[in-house]
């Protein structure tokens, strides 16, 4: 899985590309873990280039969120397409994550 990263002030924007499925879940989760372990406390995960997330991907997202919480880091999602949002709804994940409509909103929330 390709993961593009950018910085805006203290915020790290993580942009995974492709799908967070069985193949993509581990590289994605590992990268979030590395970022948090190395001190990132303000994370925005931009999902605009993600076409689908399977349960393996949601497990990785849940673990990432828990790790962020434990490290008192902020983890915010943005770029959720209508199709991907439907998967969040099916899994009843909408209440568990902070999902922003735009990346700028995400950056503000994560700061």
Partner 1 sequence: MAEVEARIPNRRDEMRTIAALVEQFGLTHLVPSRIVNELNVALDEILNNIISYGFEPGEQSEILVRLSLQQGERVAEIEDAGRPFAPLGAPPPDLAGGLRERRVGGLGIHFVRNLMDAVEYARVGECNRLRLSKTLAPDEREKPGGERHGNS
User: Contact residues for partner 1 (CB under 8 A)?
Assistant: 19, 21-23, 51-56, 58-59, 62, 65-66, 69, 83, 87, 90-92, 96
> Least Å distance between CB 98 and partner 1?
11
Contact 42, 79 (CB under 8 A): no
Phi, psi of 106, deg, nearest 5:
-60, -45
As a whole number of Å, the end-to-end CA separation of the chain is 27
> Least Å distance between CB 35 and partner 1?
19
Of the two residues 13 and 53, which places its CB atom closer to partner 1 in the complex?
53
Of the two residues 38 and 70, which places its CB atom closer to partner 1 in the complex?
70
CA distance 67 to 31: 12
């Amino acid at each position: 899985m390709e993961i593009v990263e950018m910085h805006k002030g203290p915020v790290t924007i993580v942009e995974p590309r492709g799908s967070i499925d069985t193949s993509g879940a581990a590289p994605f989760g590992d990268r979030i873990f590395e970022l948090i372990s190395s001190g990132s406390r303000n994370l925005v995960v931009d999902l605009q280039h993600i076409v689908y997330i399977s349960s393996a991907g949601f497990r990785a997202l849940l673990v990432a969120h828990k790790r962020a919480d434990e490290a008192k880091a902020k983890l915010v999602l943005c770029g959720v397409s209508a199709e991907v949002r439907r998967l969040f709804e099916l899994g009843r994940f909408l209440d568990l994550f902070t999902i922003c409509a735009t990346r700028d909103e995400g950056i503000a929330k994560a700061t």
